[in-house]
Amino acid sequence: MSVEEIFQSTNKQPMSNRIVIACDPGVGGGFAVQTKDGILLFPMPESLPDMAQLLTGFKVCDSHLWIEKVPKFVSKLTPASAVATLHENYGIIQGLAYATGYALHRVEPKVWQEPLGLGGRKACATGPEWKRKLKSKAQELYPHLDVTLGNADALLILHYAQGGGR
């Protein structure tokens, strides 16, 4: 469902004095948006126009975008296509956010993950195990939301942006 469809179906425009959006720019990442009515979760849009629509649809005078800072090097096991998409999304989202007037906050994974008290990525044998652990934590913190592997990181970045664990 697009941002426009969500606005139309709920008849709720996310207008308040402050909007905070958190983004996991990965291939399977997404967005978590704190509005005056609660938190909305979105998968990563597939196109540039859809990304632009999401960001402009929530823009108010005091808008903040928190985005996970991407590493310059990713595991040798990660396909080059996934790394390219990660970096492409990272650049596109920052450019769109800046151009539409969002305050930008870049946060490294270690920084937003540490306050969760999960022991860090090295506490798990595999990357998928770590992702499941993050999802489980997001479900504990936000039991009323439909947390998936695709939106868990964005939701936890939003938690950090709002002071969770800091």
| Number of residues in the chain | 166
- Distance from C-alpha of 154 to C-alpha of 149, rounded to nearest angstrom: 10
Domain spans in the chain, listed from the N-terminal domain onward = 3-160
- Distance from C-alpha of 139 to C-alpha of 148, rounded to nearest angstrom: 9
pTM beyond 0.85, yes or no: yes
- Domain 3-160, CATH 3.30.420.10 — does that match? yes
Look-up: residue for tokens 């970096």? 87
Predicted confidence pLDDT, tens digits, the chain (166 residues): 555 555 444 444 444 588 999 999 988 999 999 998 899 999 999 999 999 999 999 999 899 999 999 887 777 777 788 888 889 999 999 999 999 999 999 999 999 999 999 988 888 888 889 999 999 999 999 999 999 999 999 999 999 999 986 6
